[in-house]
Amino acid sequence: MIEYICGEVVELTPTSAVIETAGGVGYFLHISLNTFSGLKQGERARLLVHEAIREDAYLLYGFKSRKERELFQLLISVSGVGPNTARMILSGLSPDEFEQVIATENVGLLKSVKGIGAKTAQRIIVDLKDKIKSVGSPLVSSMPRVSETYEEAVAALSMLGFAPQASQKVVQKLLQETPGIRVEEVIKQALKML
């Protein structure tokens, strides 16, 4: 199994890249727009690989980050979502945005990606909700101070008798809108929204 391919980017389009390795072999990789934005023709690059082996084709998908590859693999595990659909989703949303969409169950934003209908969007959210949490939500992994505020606010709302899921959604929304907000203010505003 190929873990990654490292070499010079000899051809580059928004949907594909050809990487020429030291041995003079050129590998054609399908890529997302997120990966495309991190590549430059003529420069060296290292792309993580997902192999799709079918009866009629041997396809390689390339990713600039490990997180994007993990999300791609989670997406193709969902019934009815193939590699091209997964690539389309990861072209329309950054990995952090996609994790946020799953965490907040934002069907509308997922439906805005070309080729994703309401049923598919709901299936993706239902199937990946628990799996994405285990990878780590962007609020928790990339913003430790916001994470503390988030946890304190959700705990306080739960002690006041509000359902944890509803509290989490409201607190997340408030923290996205106003990242530097204090815990007391988050709780006050959340009480008005719940």
Averaged pLDDT, 28-35 = 93
> Could you give the residue ranges of the DSSP H alpha helices within 143-182?
144-159, 164-177
In the numeric block, which tokens belong to residue 7?
Answer: 């070499």
Q: Is residue 58 predicted with pLDDT exceeding 80?
A: yes
Same fold, 66-137 and 143-193: no
> Percent of the chain at pLDDT above 90?
40
What count of other Cβ atoms lies within 10 Å of the Cβ of residue 6?
11
pLDDT in tens, 141-178: 333 445 677 778 887 887 777 777 788 888 888 888 88
- Domain residue ranges in the chain: 4-63, 66-137, 143-193
Distance (Å, rounded) from C-alpha 40 to C-alpha 85? Answer: 25
Please say whether the beta carbons of 23 and 56 come within 8 A: no
| Rounded (10°) angle between helices 83-92 and 66-76 | 130
Tell which CATH classification among 1.20.120.80, 3.40.1010.10, 3.30.420.40, 1.10.150.20 matches the domain 66-137: 1.10.150.20
* Parallel, antiparallel or unpaired: strands 44-53 and 26-30: unpaired
143-193: CATH number: 1.10.8.10
DSSP state for residue 55 in the 8-state scheme: S
Q: Is residue 80 predicted with pLDDT exceeding 50?
A: yes
- The CB-side HSE value for 50 (13 A sphere, CA atoms) comes to 26
Q: How confident is the model at residue 16 (pLDDT cuts 50, 70, 90)?
A: very high
4-63, superfamily in CATH?
Answer: Nucleic acid-binding proteins (2.40.50.140)
Please say whether the beta carbons of 29 and 65 come within 8 A: no
pLDDT in tens, 114-148: 778 889 999 999 999 888 754 444 433 333 445 67
Averaged pLDDT, 90-119 = 86
- The CB-side HSE value for 115 (13 A sphere, CA atoms) comes to 13
